[in-house]
């Protein structure tokens, strides 16, 4: 099969160019979009992610405001920062980098973000809007995945979409987003018996399990569109590699289109974060050129 390797970096660059134009329009109206990013602790991967998000904010004209807190930060201190940022009119979006240290229960702090600044779309308010088919801030990774899916399969009506994983961050909002596009939906997760019997039926397969190379060629239907959200870092002989949830080499020859890891979903997640920040600041994306 002539497989299309979906270039997430190229799609992200195109989206970021449109965000940049949207930001310029806002600035001409006197609004300077600002994204506050909160990072608690010293997890090296989280530091890399926040640094990259801040750099990419600058690329599109959004002002980043990183807040680095020590790993023993108290609940009260974190809550008071989130509330202060919620009340600060110069801040348009609030990003809470996950995971938090074990003594801080993420859902409590996510809920403290004022919904109109919830750039990750993770508050119950924004999730509820997505689940009830209302417009709102859509979680960045699922939003990026839908963009990539529609780049190769614009019409999802009548297609069977299967999502592997049901997390609050990815799987559950992804499932709702696919339903909103009139796809027929199945979700498989850790408790699903013989998940490959379901994934094999997928026209669209989105995998967000965090289990490297879980999906093999015999899990996938010929001609499917496969989106690999998984990222697991492995260090072997001092070399760090990123592994997806899909065994790319054996799955790619069988399918119509597939995302690589790295260079697939990851760049789109950040581009969608920038788009959500633009929306929070009252801006809109200009149409595609």
Q: Is 258 among the residues that bind ligand NAD (CB under 6 A)?
A: no
Would you count residue 251 as binding ligand NAD (CB under 6 A)?
no
Q: Would you list the DSSP string of 132-189?
A: TT---PPPHHHHHHHHHHHHH----TT-EEEEE---TTTHHHHHHHHHHTT-EEEEE-
Report the Cα–Cα distance between both ends of the chain, in Å, rounded: 31
The three-class DSSP label of residue 17 is helix
| Chosen residue from 14, 232, 254, 263 binding ligand NAD by CB under 6 A | 232
Phi, psi of 281 (to 5 degrees): -85, 0
CB 216 within 8 A of CB 251: yes
Which range of residues in 30-38, 83-91, 183-191, 277-285 is near ligand NAD by CB under 6 A?
A: 183-191
Contact flags string 136-175 toward ligand NAD, x per CB under 6 A: -----x----------------------xxxx-xxx----
* Least gap, CB of 3 to ligand NAD (angstroms): 20
Exactly one of 16, 56, 97, 228 is catalytic; which is it? Answer: 97
Q: Does 101 bind ligand NAD (CB under 6 A)?
A: no
E strand residue ranges, 27-133: 34-40, 63-69, 93-96
Using the minimum distance from each CB to ligand NAD, give the nearer residue, 81 or 161: 161
Q: Kindly state the smallest distance separating residue 227's Cβ from ligand NAD, in Å.
A: 10
Task: Return all residues near 282 (Cβ < 8 A) that are at least 6 apart.
Answer: 26, 31, 92
- Relative to beta strand 239-243, strand 232-236 is antiparallel
Q: Which of 195, 252, 256, 273 binds ligand NAD (CB under 6 A)?
A: 195
Rounded to whole angstroms, the Cα distance separating 56 from 93 reads: 15
Question: Phi and psi dihedrals of 156, rounded to 5?
Answer: -100, -5
Q: Is 16 a catalytic residue?
A: no
Residue number with CB closer to ligand NAD (191 or 288): 191
Active site residue 53: yes
Token duo for residue 95:
């990003």
Each residue 269-288 as x (binds ligand NAD by CB under 6 A) or -, in order, gives x-------------------
What are the contacts of 190-194 at 24+ separation with CB within 8 A? Answer: none
Is 190 among the residues that bind ligand NAD (CB under 6 A)? yes
**Is residue 231 near ligand NAD by the rule CB under 6 A?**
yes
Would you say 40 or 214 has its CB closer to ligand NAD? Answer: 214
**Contact between 204 and ligand NAD (CB under 6 A)?**
no
Closest CA to 202 of 232, 242, 162, 173: 162
Contact call for residue 266 and ligand NAD (CB under 6 A): yes
Residues that bind ligand NAD (CB under 6 A): 141, 164-167, 169-171, 188-190, 192, 195, 208-211, 214, 229-232, 265-266, 269
Residues classed as catalytic: 53, 97, 120
């Amino acid at each position: 099969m002539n497989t299309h390797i979906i270039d997430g970096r190229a799609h992200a660059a195109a989206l970021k160019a449109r965000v940049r134009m949207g930001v310029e329009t806002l600035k001409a109206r006197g609004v300077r979009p600002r994204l506050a990013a909160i990072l608690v602790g010293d997890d090296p991967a989280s530091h890399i992610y926040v640094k990259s998000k801040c750099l990419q904010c600058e690329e599109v004209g959004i002002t980043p405001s990183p807040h680095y807190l020590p790993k023993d930060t108290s609940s009260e201190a974190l809550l008071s920062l989130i509330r202060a940022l919620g009340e600060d009119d110069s801040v348009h979006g609030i990003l809470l980098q996950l995971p938090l240290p074990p003594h801080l229960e993420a859902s409590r702090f996510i809920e403290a973000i004022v919904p109109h600044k919830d750039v990750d779309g993770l508050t119950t308010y924004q999730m509820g809007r997505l689940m009830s088919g209302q417009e709102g801030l859509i979680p960045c990774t699922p939003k990026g995945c839908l963009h990539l899916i529609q780049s190769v399969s614009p019409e999802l009506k009548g297609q069977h979409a299967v999502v592997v994983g049901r997390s609050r961050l990815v799987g559950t909002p992804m499932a709702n987003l696919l339903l909103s596009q009139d796809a027929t939906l199945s979700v498989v997760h850790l408790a699903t018996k013989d998940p490959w019997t379901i994934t094999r039926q997928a026209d669209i397969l989105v995998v967000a399990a965090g289990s490297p190379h879980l999906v093999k060629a015999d899990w996938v239907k010929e001609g499917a569109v496969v989106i690999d959200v998984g990222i697991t870092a492995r260090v072997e002989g001092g070399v760090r590699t990123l592994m997806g949830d899909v065994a790319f080499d054996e799955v790619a020859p069988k399918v119509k289109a597939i995302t690589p890891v790295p260079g697939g979903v990851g760049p789109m997640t950040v581009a969608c974060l920038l788009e959500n920040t633009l929306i929070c600041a009252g801006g809109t994306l200009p149409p595609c050129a």
